[in-house]
Structure 1
Amino acid sequence: MKKVGHYGGKFIPFHKGHLYAITKAAAQVDTLYVVVSYDEERDRRLCAEAGLGYIDYRRRQQWIMTSVKGMPNVQVIAVEDPPWVDETHMWLEGGRRMIDAIPENITHIFSSEHAYDHWFRQIYGEDVQHVVIDEARTIFPISATKIRNEGVYANWDMIPEAARPYFTKRIAIVGVESCGKSTLTRNLASLFGTEYVEEYGRTVSEAVGDGSSLLTEEHYQEIVYGHKHLEFQKLKKANKLLFTDSEAVVSQYYAKMYFGRELDFIEGVIGSQAYDLYLYLEPDVDWVADGFRTFSDPAVREETNRTLKRMFDERGIPYVSIGGDYEARLDQAIAEITELLRH
């Protein structure tokens, strides 16, 4: 007789305890159906109460599918929960929906609670085996409720790799030339033990070999799209935070400086950006020539600084101004980032 298992939950959020249970269950049956149950109104409320952005059930489903891609006998589906009437209706009607959604006869139900046995018997009958996995949570001492109560970052080690990019905070370090962006970006990434994205405009300029003045519109396409591609790759490996040296508004600023106009395709990239924090570095440190910088005159630096700030303001993008010497900049940045991780 074929063994068909069922393991379900809301997975708000998905954690390593869930993944452990799925892995254990999959080893005991021929086919395991993991069911993501959802109710948008309830799920939005749970996320809001935990200070999380709304985690759509499709995203939860994708996290699990990515995490179990090496388990060919696991299938991940989603089932909408019935409207709340009372606990009995929730369990019995919800169970009926599970049975309808799973195209095979269920022989095994997996959970982490013996107390669920009462409901499973009513829903699936006496012949279905209820297997409880790590009820005491000794292997992975975690629950979704604990994460929602304490925060994702306090329980970061319990978040599976597939889900981490969603929760990673993205921080853009911006400003005009020679204000210390690259140095601060590298230092912050090192201090917080995470990844950073280098300024891709510099990479392209160095390949051209004669600075920004010779860059064409095609080069700017390479800069903004290449930068975003790099960012998404680094996001997969980041540890809570991802630092980015410059972004599309800064690219648009340089286009405006050298072409005398803004480029439409860059504006599209700006509209799609999603940074959690902008640290704007004031140009109040010494200007350093490196063969690629142009605006050394103090009056010109001040004017270009006003121009870039205005570009952020016009687009409704808030930023935190960081100034002073290099030590002061570092201290201000760390304070802002520490506050960001509290949310």
Structure 2
Amino acid sequence: MNPDRFGLGVVIGKFLPPHRGHRFLIETALSRCDRVIVIICGKPIDPIPPEFRARWLSEMVPSAEVMLIDDRYDENDSRVWAENTIGWLGRAPDAVFTSEDYGDRYASHLGCAHVLVDKARITIPCSGTAVRTDALAMWDFIDAPVRGWFAKRVVIVGAESTGTTTLAMDLASALRTTWVSEYGREYSEVKQARGEAIWESAEFLDIAREQNRREDLAAREANRVLICDTNSFATMLWHRRYMGHDDERLNAIADECRADLYLLTGDEIPFVQDGLRDGEHIRNDMHRWFESALEAQSVPWHLLRGGREQRVKDALAIIFARWPVIEEGLAPAPGGV
């Protein structure tokens, strides 16, 4: 029998959040076990919901089995954890894999082997605390699902023909990151092509849900910051414009969207009619609606005016002032071109 090979292996922890050090630990267990169960300990009060962490780990290491348990126990009592582990699994594992000092005590109470993996964090210099403290600085050590949670979202909003899409594309290019287009415009083009002119509240609900979905998907691929050309917060204002009232269902959907910074494009530039827009007569009123709505919410926001280059310059200055590590991440490596 190969002493380096085990039947059932266990990896246990909070994974708050999962990072590539955790992935390395689990993949090491998978390389030495016929079966690996990852036990995630979570509480409802955790800063990241346990269910999210379980889903992320299942995606990051699909060959492992993920078990989520309610963390109600003294984290320093290895005997209790061992007894509970046997209860959760129905038997003791053949080995536990950890990167921590508690592993020896935990394994001894289980009566199984303990495999210590990269305790000094030399192979993967990362920790959950470091990610929670500054995820943007630890970007290279987190995977797509976790990046989607931590990516900063800069949302560009504004009235018709105020340059929101142009600014979104320019910022995404300057920041070497992804951006999300306005789904409402895409929807409107299809609606117009069908010859439909009457709007219903249900359409705005669909637009807001799809906008949220696309943002969440794009955030996974972002380079620390995601640029959004509008979001479901703005959809609430367009609903008010077309329907003449607010909708609590739409407000609830908008509450689910995430924004870390709003950039409002000014209405001083020339109006361009593209066949979809209402017209210049409504633009100033909509701009004031946006200003009032942004003032009434808690996310920081800034008004951008001037030409295309000036707006990009000002926007980048605002973003870099809030998150310097984003600018640092764009700098060429030492000795690079």
> What TM-score do the two structures reach when normalised by structure 1?
0.81
Match of residue 319, structure 1, among 279, 297, 301: 301
Equivalent position SS for 1:78: strand
Match of residue 177, structure 1, among 160, 170, 176: 160
Match of residue 60, structure 1, among 53, 70, 74: 53
Cα distance in 1 for partners of 2:292, 2:196 equals 22
Cα distance in 2 for partners of 1:136, 1:249 equals 45
Match of 1:328 in 2: 310
Of 209-218 and 131-140, the range deviating more from structure 2: 209-218
Equivalent position SS for 1:76: strand
Correspondence list, 1:255-274, <5 A: 255-274=239-258
Match of residue 25, structure 1, among 22, 29, 45: 29
Match of 1:9 in 2: 13
* 1:7-48: CA deviation from partner (whole Å, max 9, x where unpaired): 12221221111111101101212221212234667xx5xxxx
Cα distance in 1 for partners of 2:248, 2:43 equals 40
Compute the displacement of 1:83 (Å): 3.5
Compute the displacement of 1:257 (Å): 3.2
Correspondence list, 1:301-320, <5 A: 301-314=283-296, 319-320=301-302
Cα distance in 1 for partners of 2:215, 2:305 equals 26
* 1:55-105: CA deviation from partner (whole Å, max 9, x where unpaired): 132322222122222x1x534333525247xx5xx2332333223222222
Match of 1:82 in 2: 73
Match of residue 99, structure 2, among 93, 107, 112: 112
Compute the displacement of 1:196 (Å): 1.4
Say if 1:223 and 1:75 are closer, same or farther in 2 by CA, change over 3 A. Answer: closer
Equivalent position SS for 1:244: strand
Cα distance in 2 for partners of 1:219, 1:287 equals 27
Match of 1:280 in 2: 264
Cα distance in 1 for partners of 2:241, 2:103 equals 69
Amino acid at match of 2:58: M
CA contact (8 A) 1:3 1:107 kept: yes
CA contact (8 A) 2:273 2:279 kept: no
Correspondence list, 1:286-305, <5 A: 286-297=270-281, 301-305=283-287
Cα distance in 2 for partners of 1:216, 1:177 equals 18
Say if 1:201 and 1:215 are closer, same or farther in 2 by CA, change over 3 A. Answer: farther
Amino acid at match of 1:58: E
Compute the displacement of 1:303 (Å): 3.0
CA contact (8 A) 1:176 1:305 kept: yes
Cα distance in 2 for partners of 1:29, 1:225 equals 42
Say if 1:304 and 1:212 are closer, same or farther in 2 by CA, change over 3 A. Answer: farther
Cα distance in 2 for partners of 1:257, 1:146 equals 45
CA contact (8 A) 2:264 2:304 kept: yes
Match of 2:328 in 1: none
1:37 is aligned to 2:41: yes
Correspondence list, 1:199-218, <5 A: 199-209=182-192, 214-217=197-200
Give the unaligned 5+ runs of structure 1.
Answer: 45-53
Compute the displacement of 1:153 (Å): 0.8
Equivalent position SS for 2:312: helix
Amino acid at match of 1:171: V
Cα distance in 1 for partners of 2:279, 2:215 equals 28
Say if 1:204 and 1:36 are closer, same or farther in 2 by CA, change over 3 A. Answer: closer
1:166 is aligned to 2:157: no
CA contact (8 A) 1:208 1:215 kept: no
CA contact (8 A) 2:259 2:299 kept: no
* 1:204-263: CA deviation from partner (whole Å, max 9, x where unpaired): 232234799925215544433332332233233323222221223433333433443445
Amino acid at match of 1:294: D
CA contact (8 A) 1:65 1:76 kept: no
> What TM-score do the two structures reach when normalised by structure 2?
0.82
Cα distance in 1 for partners of 2:114, 2:173 equals 48
Amino acid at match of 2:314: Q
CA contact (8 A) 1:249 1:311 kept: no
Cα RMSD (Å) of the superposition? 3.0
Amino acid at match of 2:215: E
* 1:187-214: CA deviation from partner (whole Å, max 9, x where unpaired): 1112222221111222123223479992
Q: Which portions of structure 1, spanning 4 or more consecutive aligned residues, are displaced by more than 6 angstroms?
A: 210-213
1:228 is aligned to 2:227: no
CA contact (8 A) 1:211 1:292 kept: no
CA contact (8 A) 2:103 2:116 kept: no
Equivalent position SS for 1:3: strand
